[in-house]
């Protein structure tokens, strides 16, 4: 049958004769287990090297939710660690207080850091903000992702500071990044499209890095499956309310029909970024009159939100 591969025949564009576990539709390559793992790890290493995400002597703290992306991030960084001169790794986990969801992922995070013998700290919304996300969202479910995003941003910064880190690594993957590009285009928010989370705080926050930004969600799932590290974890119950959910489905269909769509969105952002040369994100950064954190207005989003919780 045209376009298909029998179980006994070596597919075209294979690197070896071992059975393929992944077919990259964009390049046409079929990769066996070992070639796939090596390909993912070398692409992450190249992202780190090419963008100077980690430099000798860094203390990288991983924002470890225990879900698939941050789990894969930890595994890959631990694997690359010997090649990263004088770099230390640790992890912290945010417990937002989402009943029926976070319990499983926190358990998973706990097991992982024990296995890799990493220092692990916990930080919770009740500790930081006086209540769980479930309580804050009662009657405000449609705003879930906006509210959680503002609170999590603060929690991430506090967690990285408490860990004494020089870099904060998050598990954002290619799908996440492409969705963000598309969402900001849909919102008409060009400054936000170009603003990098690690560059908009005038050195006040610990820089964030996204080593998995060119690894697709599917590749991450395959990587975990091949390491026996895949866990059937629940999806966030509030995800159904998010614009991101709609964008995710739309992009999934486009990527399926037109392989490379997500990567092209990332390339578009890079090209716009190069042409704008920072001019669109040059609005002066101010400091919140209440908490002193960097923000674009007089009062930061977090302080405004706190008044409504």
- With binding defined as CB under 8 A, does residue 62 bind other proteins? no
Select the span of 60-68, 126-134, 269-277, 288-296 touching other proteins (CB under 8 A): 60-68
Copy the structure tokens of residue 148. Answer: 């959680």
Shortest Å, Cβ 220 to other proteins: 8
- Which residue is listed with tokens 């405004």? 304
- Which residue is listed with tokens 């631990």? 78
Query: Binder to other proteins among 39, 177, 200, 217 (CB under 8 A)?
Result: 217
- With binding defined as CB under 8 A, does residue 211 bind other proteins? no
Closest CA to 121 of 79, 93, 86, 152: 93
Copy the structure tokens of residue 7. Answer: 């179980």
Sites for other proteins among residues 84-143 (CB under 8 A) = 105
Query: Binder to other proteins among 5, 122, 128, 190 (CB under 8 A)?
Result: 5
Q: How far is CA 83 from CA 45, 77, 130, in A?
A: 9, 10, 42
Region for residue 117 given its phi and psi (left: phi exceeds 0; alpha: psi -120 to 50; beta: otherwise): left
User: Distance (Å, rounded) from C-alpha 224 to C-alpha 212?
Assistant: 14
Query: Binder to other proteins among 119, 150, 230, 264 (CB under 8 A)?
Result: 230
Which is closer to other proteins, CB of 22 or CB of 129?
A: 22
- With binding defined as CB under 8 A, does residue 210 bind other proteins? no
Query: Binder to other proteins among 221, 281, 299, 302 (CB under 8 A)?
Result: 221
Is the separation of the CB atoms in 70 and 171 below 8 Å? yes
Is the separation of the CB atoms in 259 and 251 below 8 Å? no
Shortest Å, Cβ 207 to other proteins: 22
Binding site for other proteins (CB under 8 A): 1, 3-7, 11, 19-23, 25, 30, 65-71, 105, 171, 217-218, 221-222, 225-226, 230, 232-236, 239, 245, 248, 252-253, 255-256
């Amino acid at each position: 049958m045209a376009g298909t591969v029998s179980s006994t025949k070596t597919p075209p564009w294979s690197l070896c004769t071992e059975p393929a576990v992944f077919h990259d539709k964009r390049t046409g390559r079929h990769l066996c287990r070992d070639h796939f793992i090596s390909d993912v790890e070398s692409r992450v290493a190249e992202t780190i090297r090419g963008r100077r995400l980690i430099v000798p002597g860094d203390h990288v703290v991983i924002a470890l939710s225990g879900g698939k992306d941050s789990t894969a991030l930890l595994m890959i960084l631990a694997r690359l660690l010997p090649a990263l001169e004088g770099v230390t790794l640790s992890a912290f986990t945010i417990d937002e207080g989402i009943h029926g969801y976070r319990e499983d992922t926190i358990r998973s995070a706990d097991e992982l850091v024990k296995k890799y013998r990493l220092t692990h700290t916990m930080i919770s919304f009740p500790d930081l903000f006086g209540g769980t996300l479930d309580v804050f969202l009662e009657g405000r479910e449609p705003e879930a992702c906006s509210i959680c995003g503002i609170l999590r941003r603060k929690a991430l910064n506090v967690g990285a500071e408490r860990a004494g880190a020089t870099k904060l690594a998050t598990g954002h993957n290619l799908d996440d990044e492409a969705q963000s590009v598309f969402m900001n285009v849909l919102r008409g928010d060009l400054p936000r499209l170009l603003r990098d989370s690690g560059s908009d705080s005038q050195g006040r926050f610990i820089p964030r890095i996204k080593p998995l930004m060119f690894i697709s969600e599917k590749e991450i799932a395959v990587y975990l499956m091949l390491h026996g590290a895949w866990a059937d974890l629940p999806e966030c119950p509030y995800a159904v309310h998010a614009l991101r959910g709609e964008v995710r489905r739309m992009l999934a269909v486009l990527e399926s029909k037109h392989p490379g769509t997500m990567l092209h969105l990332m390339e578009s952002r890079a090209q716009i970024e190069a042409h704008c040369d920072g001019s669109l994100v040059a609005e002066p950064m101010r400091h919140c009159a209440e908490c002193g954190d960097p923000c674009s207005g007089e009062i930061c989003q977090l302080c405004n939100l706190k008044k409504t919780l």
